[in-house]
Amino acid sequence: MDRAAEALTPGTPSRYPYFTSLSLAISGPYKPNNNPSGRIMSVVWKIRVRQWGLEKNPLIPEPTTSHPLQGVKDRTLKQAGLVYEKKSRPTVQPMMIDPLSSVLDGPDPLSDLLGASDPLSGKAFPSASRQAMEADKDTEMAITDSRHSTWEQHRAFILSNFTTTGTLTFTSSFLQPSDSAESRAVPLHRRVVKTQTAVTERHRTPGMSGSERIRARLEQLDTLDEMSGGGVVREVGGLTQEEFTHRLNGLKQELTEAWQSDQRVKALKIAIQCVKLLSLSVPEHFYPSKFVLVIDILDTLASLVYQRLKFKSQSENFPVGGSDTGKLEAQETTRNWFYKVASIRELLPRLYLEAALLPCYSLINVQEGEQALSRLSRMIRGIGDPLMAAYARMYVCRMGFVIAPTLTQHISESIEDFLHALKQGLWPEGEADMNMGEDKDSLAARVFFPPLEWMMQCLASCAPHHILQSILRQCEEGEGLGQNLLVSSLLATFPHHFIALQALPLTHLIAGCSYPGKLQHELLSSLGVCVNQAAPPQQQQLPLLNAVWKLIARVPNTKDYLSTAGIWLEFTAKHFTSVEVNTLLGDVLKHVGTDRSHDQTHYPAMLALVSTALTNSTDPHSLFSMKHFLGLLNVFQRDSVSAGDGVTRGVVEALLTHHPGDFTDPILVQHLLTLCGALHDSINALTTDDERRQLSQLIISFIRQVNFGRDFEQQLDFYVNARAAFSNLDTVLVSLVQCVCRLAMATWNVMHSQHSGKTASFVRACAAYCFITVPSLAYSTTRLKLYLLSGTVALINNCLGQVEGNDSLYGGDPKVQQEAEQLCTTLLHNILLHIQSLTGIHEKRCGPLAFSLFWCIVTWCDLTQPQMMKVTSQIWSLVLKHCHPETVVQARDWISRHSVHQKHTSLAQLVRHGQA
């Protein structure tokens, strides 16, 4: 062992003694009471006299060719064994970088999981069983076109849009006495109770043969629409929509319970009486919802019947013949069900029930089912009420698509019959007066559109091109409400490529659709949505745009005009240059200018126009030089722009994404400052942290893209305005302080570190900006870091101010120095005691702590004191033992250089100790 080390740590067996083998008693103001040893070592901190002239080591700037962080991701990926290909840097920088996406290489793992199959469901249902389950969904529509709605979506739309506040009447022989009690609140003059005599169920008589039992059932079906278990048909009036729906749901539950208790006839009776509710079309605006509720009951019965018949056809519990016998019996039972339905006297329930049971024909003969489908579609011609006939055609087409999705003849005939019925009177005068103030023409367009749309959707899903052309010819030959609805449903259901090819003729049709119904701007909007998805031939695009815009310009309502113009602006931006886009925006400004009193209500629509033009334009950069585009931005004022609908955020994102390079135009910067200010003002107590973070990153991206070049004063003015606009977002304020510090350093660089009077005042203004802004931040750590940053920038720019250093303020007062030394001594003792307590598994933790303490001592403490030198040597021994060898080598080199440079003998002694 080296003698110097032995002198420092006498009696220690190891070369580099562990510090906890010593026990310290502290002299001075701090006296611990947990000293287990009697040995005393006095350690007192004395401030080292600094020789700044010798210590000054000016930095020599060196030019670099690469960013210091460049290649970090490359090295990380190489270490992980991954292949990383550098992508060329885009011309336009992204407006916002997601900190989480930067650590991922490849697709999002959650997206991969979303696309993968469910392992649990795959194990629970083998592939054969899964196919069988999917094949069993015979009552559910399966329309492949993405723009077409399923029956569930269509059902939900009808229930939510066709409601009533009037009173309804419910008639059934299955109403319980309690049902009448529940309606006691209904006035007596609005209740009607009819009593009919019940017929006994003769088919349950013992000793009857099979044929006699069947004959008895058929006789019973002759009157089953007039019977109930108690022989009483109750008609309850004055029901609200909720009460009416509740009673229908109750019958649906009773139907299921009757079926499960083997009362098939009763279940059929309930279904028949529910369908009879559709024979009353008033109130017309509630009939679609009543239709959907009744269809739910029919679907329930049809599903129960089909599942029972299918089970019988697949059953193997027969002694002779196996499953063939089961199929024969199932076919016989199936025909029996159709015989039961055929014996129903009234047309409407007979038609609906046979349509509901159409999938059962697959157990007998598929061709018979197709023939029955054609027969049912013609039977509807016997329904006199156009509204009831329309929804009956809708249901037959729905069931027809289930059993024969490739057949289109019955759908085409149903559409022709529908249009023919509309040419007649829809309902007598005065019968459409319970429509909540809605005029009769608007009501007719609203209630007749869902069935026509569904039939057209079924046709468009499977019909060849020539069938679609025939429908278009019907549109051209039609008139009145039928033509209006046919054109509207064609635009909503037919394939986009077909509509794109016929866009110009359809425009002329829309121009001639004058009958009240779907408004002209609604039809133009539907056409615009289609051509935005599939482009018309190039030679038709300009004539189409001219023809459409003539119609749009005549739309009287400003809100309707803007919504339609926005859709066709997308078409213009995709297929024309920015000149045409600018022309259309000029017409928008001219149109809105006539409605200045309400321009603030149109801000969301006009903001959507800006976003549409930027997002879809083939050359978005050129828009920023267009007069009308900038004029549209000039409309908005901060105190009126609302960011609650998300449109403002979309516009800001589009502007930041598509603008080339930095923002240098003061007018454009002011527009963006207005929009970003609206985003800031939309933040409230209910805003989530994630949304606040996203908005902050969006605003920061905008701030960093503003660059006025050498006009530093204008740049600082912008930062001042931004601080006032975004005062509630600490992240944005932090970015502003950093930008101002960068601006001060840019000034220092331009002046080559020699400020003039003007630039000196400017950098002092930058320092004042930081001094004012930093205290408003919430987190103390952030404030401390920014104080250090701004103080460093101020010091580099010689912004010393008046707030001088302690050496000048106190003039080396010995009392101040003594108090500082006492505080440092107390801190040193606490740290030494903590290091002394690190034993056992915590021993390794003393390495970094000892290294940090060592640097503080050799930098600021006077090492000429023998006791302090001993403690420093012991701490250096801990560094040698517990720190990484490279760290030790670097520290030793630094100590060696400074001991020579500053002629510091104590440091030289530590170097010799470290080399021992």
DSSP string, 27-50: -SS---S---SS--------BPPP
Q: Is 883's pLDDT higher than 60?
A: yes
CA distance 255 to 122: 35
Angle between the 409-423 and 366-379 helix axes, to the nearest 10 degrees?
A: 10
DSSP secondary structure, 196-252, as one string: ------GGG-TT--HHHHHHHHHHHHHSGGG--TTSEEEEEEEE-HHHHHHHHHHHH
- The mean pLDDT of 637-641, rounded to a whole number, is 57
Tens of pLDDT, residue by residue over 386-409, are 999 999 999 999 999 999 999 999
- Dig out the tokens for 93 from the structure: 């920088």
Tens of pLDDT, residue by residue over 455-496, are 999 999 888 999 999 999 999 888 888 889 999 999 999 999
- Dig out the tokens for 126 from the structure: 């083998």
Nearest to 285 by CA among 384, 165, 190, 145: 165
Query: Of the given ranges (151-165, 654-668, 797-811), which has the lowest mean pLDDT?
Result: 797-811
Contact between 617 and 578 under an 8 Å Cβ cutoff? The reply is yes
Q: What pLDDT is recorded for position 581?
A: 92
Phi, psi of 170 (to 5 degrees): -125, 125
Q: Is the peptide bond before 319 cis (omega within 30 degrees of 0)?
A: no
Q: Is 30's pLDDT higher than 50?
A: no
CA distance 338 to 355: 10
Query: Of the given ranges (185-199, 514-528, 652-666), which has the lowest mean pLDDT?
Result: 185-199
Give 905's contacts (C-beta < 8 A, 6+ positions apart).
899
Query: Of the given ranges (14-18, 369-373, 382-386), which has the lowest mean pLDDT?
Result: 14-18
Distance of CA 586 to the CA centre of its chain: 33
The residue among 116 and 269 whose pLDDT is bigger is 269
Q: Look at the block and give the residue holding tokens 């057209």.
A: 456
Q: What pLDDT is recorded for position 215?
A: 63
> Across 354-363, 416-425, 611-620, which has the greatest mean pLDDT?
354-363
CB atoms within 10 A of CB 607: 28
- The mean pLDDT of 288-303, rounded to a whole number, is 96
Tens of pLDDT, residue by residue over 86-96, are 333 334 443 44
Share of the chain above pLDDT 90, in %: 39
Compute the C-alpha angle 631/636/640, nearest 5°: 165
Q: What pLDDT is recorded for position 625?
A: 81
Q: Is 653's pLDDT higher than 50?
A: yes
Q: What pLDDT is recorded for position 394?
A: 96
Q: What pLDDT is recorded for position 638?
A: 54
Q: Is 825's pLDDT higher than 50?
A: yes
Q: Look at the block and give the residue holding tokens 């052309």.
A: 469
CA distance 875 to 857: 10
Angle between the 151-161 and 440-462 helix axes, to the nearest 10 degrees?
A: 180
Q: What is the DSSP letter of 495?
A: -
By CB atoms closer than 10 A (0-12, 13-18, 19+), residue 842 is exposed
Q: What pLDDT is recorded for position 255?
A: 94
Q: What pLDDT is recorded for position 598?
A: 52
Phi, psi of 746 (to 5 degrees): -65, -40
Give the strand order in the sheet containing 232-239.
Answer: 168-172, 232-239, 191-195
CA distance 167 to 187: 12
Share of the chain above pLDDT 70, in %: 72
Q: Is 49's pLDDT higher than 80?
A: no
CA dihedral 297, 298, 299, 300 (to 10 degrees): 50
Q: Look at the block and give the residue holding tokens 């015989």.
A: 339
The residue among 850 and 63 whose pLDDT is bigger is 850
The residue among 660 and 856 whose pLDDT is bigger is 856
Q: What pLDDT is recorded for position 913?
A: 67
Q: How does the average pLDDT of the chain come out, rounded?
A: 78
Compute the C-alpha angle 472/476/479, nearest 5°: 125
Contact between 418 and 393 under an 8 Å Cβ cutoff? The reply is yes
Q: How confident is the model at residue 179 (pLDDT cuts 50, 70, 90)?
A: low
Q: What is the DSSP letter of 192?
A: E
Q: What pLDDT is recorded for position 436?
A: 52
Q: Is 644's pLDDT higher than 70?
A: no
CA distance 657 to 661: 10
- The mean pLDDT of 674-691, rounded to a whole number, is 87
Q: What pLDDT is recorded for position 67?
A: 58
Q: Which long-range contacts (CB under 8 A, 24 or more apart) does 362-366 make?
A: 362/138, 362/403, 363/309, 363/310, 363/313, 363/327, 363/330, 363/331, 363/334, 364/331, 364/334, 364/335, 366/403, 366/404
Compute the C-alpha angle 840/843/844, nearest 5°: 135
Q: Which long-range contacts (CB under 8 A, 24 or more apart) does 895-898 make?
A: 895/858
Q: Is 16's pLDDT higher than 70?
A: no
Query: Of the given ranges (7-11, 68-72, 901-905), which has the lowest mean pLDDT?
Result: 7-11
Contact between 740 and 770 under an 8 Å Cβ cutoff? The reply is yes
CA distance 460 to 454: 10
Q: What pLDDT is recorded for position 642?
A: 59
CA distance 898 to 889: 14
CA distance 828 to 826: 5
- Dig out the tokens for 42 from the structure: 């006095």
pTM for the full predicted model: 0.62
CA distance 456 to 338: 29
CA distance 820 to 814: 10
3-state per-residue secondary structure call for 288-354: HHHHHHHHHHHHHHHHHHHHHHHHHHHCCCCCCCCHHHHHHHHHHHHHHHHHHHHCCCCHHHHHHHH
- Dig out the tokens for 589 from the structure: 């400004």
